[in-house]
A and B are shown apart, each in its own frame.
Chain A
Amino acid sequence: MAAMNPLVANPPVATPFFFYLLAGIMVVGGILVITRKNAVHSAIALITALLAQAGLYLMLYAPFVAGVQIILYAGGIMVLFLFVIMLISIERTIKERQFNKQWLVGIVAAAALGGLFISVYTKGKSLFPEGHALYPEAQNTQAIGALLFDSRTGTYMFAFEIASLLLLVAIIGAVVMAKKRI
């Protein structure tokens, strides 16, 4: 009794019901993103899908990535999208044809890619065995921070610094692109 099974004390929330619920929200959101005429509707469907994906991250015991997903993706990038949709006029685009002339070829190419995925996942099913050990989320953020910042264990410290350079380049590039006259 002293060594109580942590699974019994804390039953996992990663139940199949939640997986299928969130997966359904994501797939429906994705379909809405690529089919809606109005870009604002697409953006809102994408935000819903991204929030559902944050839930999936929580089910995968990745709370830090889930938080980053909500704050940065749903909160930052999508607001940027909505701002740009606001800046450009959408009235004209809604009246126009929404799909280009190569839509049939595009869908055939995507279907070929889907066939490749299906064949890989049916043939490689045994590579992904069932059952995982459960680890607590309490150490997750700390361990990610150690990987990113620690000079001793930080495998990705250099990549992290390069990422800051990438963001600087992106900021300058965005300003140069969007500015009328430099």
Chain B
Amino acid sequence: MDAMLHISTLHYLVLGAALFLLGVIGVLTRRNVVIVLMSIELILNAVNLNLVALSRYWQGMPARLGGGPQALHGQVFAIFVITDAAAEAAVGLGILIAFFRNKETVNVDEVNLLKW
């Protein structure tokens, strides 16, 4: 019961793992490319949650180990991950539009132009 009432870093990590798994299931099972891209966003967000939670954990470490209020490396990494997510979404949706223009579909099963 005490583990339920006291929110520790592990709670955030478990939530991040659950979201990561949901994203993985979405990427592996859905046929709609738009939803596959959204599942990738879900995965990136799970990683971001882990990074910020571990940044918080690291702030509680003693200063001789690099902890303290200035230990914000996880949060900076989360910002970089958000930048990557923006770039990935732009390029992915550009590819999706090009694909839709050629094939009139958004099903990932029909992306087989490079197969032989």
Contacts and interface: CB of A to CB of B under 8 A. Distances in A.
Contacts of B11: 19, 23
- Of listed A88, A96, A109, A163, residue having the most chain B CB within 10 A: A88
A170 B85 CA distance: 11
Given A16-B5, A61-B56, A100-B31, A173 B90 contact: yes
Interface string A134-171: 01100110011011100000011001000100110111
B10 A128 contact: yes
Contacts of B90: 80, 170-171, 173-174
Contacts of B93: 80-81, 84, 174, 178
Interface in A24-48: 26-27, 30-31, 33-34, 36, 39, 42-43, 46
Contacts of B85: 73, 77
Contacts of A26: 15, 19
B101 interface: yes
Contact of A177 (B20, B42, B53, B98): B98
B56 A68 contact: no
A81 B24 contact: no
A131 interface: yes
B45 to A, nearest CB: 6
Interface string A56-96: 11011110110011001100110011001101100011001
A135 B64 CA distance: 17
B83 to A, nearest CB: 5
A144 B21 contact: no
A156 B97 CA distance: 34
Interface of B: 4-15, 17-26, 28-32, 34-35, 37-39, 41-42, 45, 48-49, 52-53, 55-57, 59-60, 69-70, 72-73, 75-76, 78-80, 82-91, 93-98, 100-101, 105-109
3 cross-chain pairs, A with B, having the tightest CB-CB distances, nearest first? A106-B28, A177-B94, A170-B87
